[in-house]
Amino acid sequence: MTGRRRTASLLVPLATLALLSGCAVGIDPQPSPSATTAAPTQTPSPEPTTPPLTMPDTEDPDQIAAVVFTTGGGVPSSESITGPATMAQGARITVTGECRGSTLEYELRTAAAGEEQRLLLGATISCAAGPLTNTLAGVDFAGPVQLAITNSDGVDEGWVQALQEPVG
């Protein structure tokens, strides 16, 4: 046998062996249905969403003061509003606040021009508890008041509003 015939005679048995074992040149073998297992798919859980705070109507005619706190863009800022009403002598005052985060501390102070500020009410709001309302009555003061946030560490947003019931 020459070298050419020997090579050809070896190729034929190798090709036959490849076909019998399920291998074919240029053809992808198909797995049997029992060998196919689908990889488990994981759907990311949606992040819990918190409903937005219901901000107060800062133009309420019975409002004597309000403060709104935000951390837009990571920078804390607050807007303090005095009025539109002025606190009446002996009026009943309702102070309500709400926040997102841990706790928010605030103070209601007198704000008459030329006079030293006097603390009327100080309180802490637990953000997890929802809106908090405090009532103040019979205060010996008439004039403008101001709400100030005194501690907002760990708070993303919040507000406090003081309304007086009409004296009558």
pLDDT at residue 86 in the model: 95
Three-state DSSP state, 113: coil
pLDDT at residue 66 in the model: 96
CATH no., domain 63-164: 2.60.120
pLDDT at residue 78 in the model: 85
Q: Find tokens 């050809």 and name the residue.
A: 8
- Mean pLDDT, consecutive 10-residue segments, the chain of 168 residues? 47 44 52 55 60 86 95 82 94 95 95 94 93 91 95 92 84
pTM exceeds 0.85, yes or no: no
Residues forming CATH 2.60.120 domain(s) in the chain: 63-164
98 burial (CB, 10 Å; 0-12 / 13-18 / 19+) is buried
Structure tokens at 105: 């501390």
